[in-house]
């Protein structure tokens, strides 16, 4: 199972939000590109970069920072946050991202189909769930759509990758919501990347055992509660 460090950008800085709350921000560095290089040097196979300003405002705001990250490393970078038009997706790809994460826009069937056709294998469906329902617009709103139902719709469109985040566990350092992850994995025909709450090597093993293709880790890495080396060892096949 692939281990992917998260780099969340707000105001050009590397931050983490607790449960997606913009009022509960923790700053971990003023130079996201330097942070990206650090993770690459420690063996990261890929980076997960999110534009938090873009997610909130509906249009990417930190593409220049994302481009600096891409230029600083040789590993692939997937990018999301405010990608709600095909033009924005193309700008993210032009900045060097190899995959683009579509979140809020995925709830619109017509838009989702357009993204799937335009992006092909570069599209990742970002499904963020609060109590099993899809949250949108930077997690500021919760829809009536069940996360697993949206996952099925994305897979039916041919989307190969889904980043599934359980908001209740995100940034809480209390472990992942394995039950919700299993429900998503059982319900969709796509590769699922788990995100939210992974804090220990045991958490990584629990996620690996569900059959998830990859795991995104944020706060636990930044606070030194789990090293990238430990996480990668726990995610490796037994």
Residue 173, pLDDT score: 67
Rounded to whole angstroms, the Cα distance separating 215 from 175 reads: 12
Residue 85, pLDDT score: 96
DSSP string for 68-136: HHHHH-SS-EEEESS--SHHHHHHHHHTT-SEEEE-GGGGSHHHHHHHHHHHGGGEEEEEEEETTEEEE
The three-point CA angle 167-211-69 to 5° equals: 60
Residue 24, pLDDT score: 81
Of 64, 63, 71, the residue nearest 34 (C-alpha): 71
Parent domain of 88: 2-235
Rounded to whole angstroms, the Cα distance separating 145 from 112 reads: 15
Contact 143, 129 (CB under 8 A): no
Contact 149, 127 (CB under 8 A): no
pTM: 0.93
Spatial neighbors of 63 by CB under 8 A, at least 6 apart, are 51, 91, 92, 95
Residue 98, pLDDT score: 97
Contact 34, 23 (CB under 8 A): no
Rounded to whole angstroms, the Cα distance separating 216 from 207 reads: 11
Q: Which residues are catalytically annotated?
A: 8, 128
Residues of the chain with pLDDT under 70: 20, 138-139, 170-173
User: In total, how many domains does the chain have?
Assistant: 1
Q: Is 32 helix (H, G, I), strand (E, B) or coil?
A: helix
Residue 122: Cβ within 10 Å count: 17
CATH number, domain of 33, equals: 3.20.20.70
């Amino acid at each position: 199972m692939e281990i992917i460090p998260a780099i969340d950008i707000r105001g050009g800085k590397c931050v983490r939000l607790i449960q997606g709350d913009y009022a509960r921000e923790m700053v971990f560095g003023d130079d996201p590109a330097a942070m990206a290089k650090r993770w690459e040097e420690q063996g990261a196979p890929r980076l997960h970069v999110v534009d938090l300003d873009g997610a909130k405002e509906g249009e990417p705001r930190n593409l220049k920072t994302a481009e600096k990250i891409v230029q600083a490393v040789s590993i692939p970078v997937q990018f999301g946050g405010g990608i709600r038009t095909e033009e924005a997706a193309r700008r993210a790809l032009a900045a060097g991202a190899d995959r683009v994460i579509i979140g809020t826009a995925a709830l619109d069937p017509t838009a989702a189909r357009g993204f799937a056709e335009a992006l092909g294998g570069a599209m990742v469906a970002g499904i963020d769930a609060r109590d099993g329902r899809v949250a949108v617009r930077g997690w500021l709103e919760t829809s009536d759509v069940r996360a697993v139902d949206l996952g099925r719709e994305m897979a039916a469109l041919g989307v190969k990758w889904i980043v599934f985040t359980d908001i209740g566990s995100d940034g809480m350092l209390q472990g992942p919501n394995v039950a919700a992850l299993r429900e998503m994995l059982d319900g969709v025909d796509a590769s699922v990347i788990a995100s939210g709450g992974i804090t220990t090597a045991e958490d990584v093993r629990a996620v690996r055992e569900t059959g998830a293709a990859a795991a995104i880790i944020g706060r636990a890495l930044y606070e030194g509660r789990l090293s990238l080396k430990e996480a990668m060892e726990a995610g490796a096949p037994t």
